[in-house]
A and B are shown apart, each in its own frame.
Chain A
Amino acid sequence: MAIIAVLFLFPAVYNLVLSFQQLTPYQSPAEAVWVGLRNFVSVFTSPQTATAAINTALPFTFATVAARVVLGLGLAQLLQSRTLARWRLRGLARTLALLPWMIPPVAAVASWRWMLNANTGVINQILTSTGLVDSGIPFLAQTSTVWWAIDTILVWRELPFVVIVIMAGLQAIPQEQYEAAELDSANRWQRFRYVTLPNLRPVLLVVVLITTIQTFNNFVYVWLTTGGGPGNYTQVLATQLYSAAFIDNNLGQGAAIGLIMSIVMLIFALVYLRITSGKENL
């Protein structure tokens, strides 16, 4: 416990101090200069922060969380279907569906960058050979496609987690409720709408919160695909923090961004703890 405290509390407090200082990664902390609120002023007044904040919230977090929940619901139902069980294919189907989650994010990004490559990538090869487009699309280098590409990679890799949790939720639904619905001659959609969804509500809530928190803080998917580019078009708060601290060599400004992110996260975390507390383990 002491270790956890030292390794989390100390940096948290130090981050606060640092956000009021100016310092480069090549100086020692003793050389730090107090600059008051200047870091925060420059963070809040820079249009780049506004872009990063909007990017983090909408195309990065909201879009991918929504996509994961919708696709996860569909895929989980498919994997649970009685048809697959009849043919003893559930296990195989489930293993295949989990495979993306077993690939380290960096390797996943590597594979997708190769597939999305403008000239030699397999996706563009298929598109050009079928005559859909005349020349390869540089998916990660043009603003009209770059968010679609990043979101696809992220959702592909992170979807299995959502599927697993929803599947567990589906199995906790008492079968009797479906039988009762069938007696009332409810159709497939009605069974989903009035039995499955209400029962899954708490599970979905937890899934949304966990994935939101994880994505909000995620660094690798943007950094490894575009580095925040083209220009600063896909910069998110996590990559902005990194760039400010280690590329622009302004640790104080990085700390200020970190502090703002922490406050936003704290709100999510409190909601999450409120929901999960009272679990049997505690």
Chain B
Amino acid sequence: MSSGIQAPSHDYTFRASDKRRPRDLLVIVPTFILLLLLVFPVLWMVFTSLRPASALIGGTGLSELFVDLGFDSYVRLFQGSDFARFIGNSLLISLVSTTCTLILASVAAYGFSRFRFRGRYPLLLVVLATQLVPFVVLITPVYLFFSTLGLLNTYFGLIIVYVAMTLPLATYLMLGFLNTVPRMLDEAARVDGCNTLQAIFRVILPVAVPGLVSTGVTTFIATWEEFLFASVFLTDPNLKTVQVGLYGFFGEYATDWGVIMAAATISAIPTIVLFSIIQRRLITGVAAGSVKE
């Protein structure tokens, strides 16, 4: 996790100026004060969630940061609301969407990677272009479309939306990974009598596991964080996702910030953990997508 992007190697060749000097602290200390300010909202969220309710009523100051920490707010959160259910809903929706997206993206990316068919380039442009689609604009037509089909207030409806939303980027990411898998493997699979789908799922993908993981994580995070479609399409309180449930608390628990911060902290745990896992790969991925070689 320590270094996201490898600096060019000549950066590390020994130079006279590479010795640590006391003067460096003039850069390091301000840098870390700045970074502390940047992460402060996250720390504050976590600490607030751990403070006893009585300490939050009059507002809580910096001085009391470490006093009386405990999980009272979390107990109130799970006893007083359906948050556990929301977590289950979100996990189900995100996991199923991610699985579907990964399967479809792998097949699509394999096609783009291995076959030079007519219309390949314009199709790829379309895949890229869908990344720029203003999703908020699609909300009215898709809402009506779904209400006709009876897909509102179903997990299935939201999963379709999420697969469509995440598929283009996932295909693009998988394409990058599959392009690095040597074609010899395809031929070997073919010689062993695999058809195309078997070749993809039995031979190619096992080699591209790191790519699958980072694409899957990216997809999972995107669906876990999504708010707009989840709030419009799932109005049944039993179907709410974590993000929509958390938003509901803004009004419901307007005076109990401990509970809101506890919910916010929980909603952030999966994304922080997953981000950390793929941080290095994610950074190189973003870099590859934006910097021309």
Contact = CB atoms under 8 A, between A and B. Distances in A.
Do A and B actually bind? yes
Interface of A: 1, 3-4, 7-8, 10-12, 14-15, 18, 23, 25, 28-29, 78, 80-108, 110-115, 117, 119-122, 124-126, 129, 156, 161, 164-165, 167-169, 171-172, 175, 202-203, 206-207, 210, 213, 216-220, 224, 238, 241-242, 245-246, 251, 254-255, 258-259, 261-262, 265, 268-269, 272-273, 276-277, 279-282
B4 A91 contact: yes
Contact of A111 (B38, B42, B133, B293): B42
7 smallest beta-carbon distances between A and B, as pairs: A168-B287, A120-B59, A91-B2, A7-B164, A258-B137, A217-B134, A107-B264
A225 B45 CA distance: 16
B39 A121 contact: no
B156 interface: no
A217 B137 contact: yes
A219 to B, nearest CB: 5
B150 to A, nearest CB: 11
B80 interface: no
User: Considering residues B18, B58, B179, B279, which has the most beta carbons from chain A within 10 angstroms of its beta carbon?
Assistant: B279
Nearest to B275: A102
B155 interface: no
Nearest to B20: A86
Interface residues of B, number: 104
B78 interface: no
A99 B39 contact: yes
Contacts of A82: 11, 17-18
Contacts of B133: 8, 265
A97 to B, nearest CB: 6
Interface of B: 1-5, 7-8, 10-12, 17-20, 24, 27-28, 31-32, 34-36, 38-39, 41-42, 44-45, 48, 56-62, 104, 108, 121, 123-130, 132-145, 147-148, 160-161, 163-164, 167-168, 172, 175-176, 179, 224-225, 227-228, 232, 243, 246-247, 249-250, 257, 260-261, 263-265, 267-268, 271-272, 275-276, 279, 283-284, 286-287, 290-293
B228 A203 contact: no
A71 to B, nearest CB: 10
Contacts of B3: 90-91, 94
A172 B1 CA distance: 21
Contacts of B163: 3
Contacts of A95: 1, 276, 279
Contacts of A81: 27, 31
Contacts of A14: 141, 144-145
A168 B286 contact: yes
B130 A8 contact: yes
B290 A175 contact: no
A203 B7 contact: no
A7 B157 CA distance: 12
Contact of B283 (A1, A106, A168): A168
A100 B39 contact: yes
Contact of B7 (A85, A89, A206): A85
B251 to A, nearest CB: 11
Contacts of B62: 122, 125-126
Contact of B140 (A15, A84, A93, A202): A15
B61 A129 contact: yes
8 contacts: A99-B38, A120-B257, A129-B61, A168-B5, A213-B132, A217-B135, A258-B136, A258-B137
B132 A269 contact: yes
Nearest to B224: A104
Nearest to B21: A86
B124 A102 contact: no
Given A87-B28, A91-B2, A175-B8, A273 B125 contact: yes
A276 B128 contact: yes
Contact of B10 (A113, A175, A206): A175
B250 to A, nearest CB: 7
A99 to B, nearest CB: 5
Contacts of A102: 268, 271-272, 275-276
Given A164-B286, A168-B287, A29 B167 contact: no
Nearest to B291: A168
A187 B263 CA distance: 50
B41 A100 contact: yes
B28 A84 contact: yes
Given A18-B141, A82-B18, A172-B291, A108 B41 contact: yes
Contacts of A277: 125
Contacts of B148: 28-29
Nearest to A210: B290
Contacts of B291: 165, 168-169, 172, 202-203
Contacts of A161: 286
Nearest to B292: A202
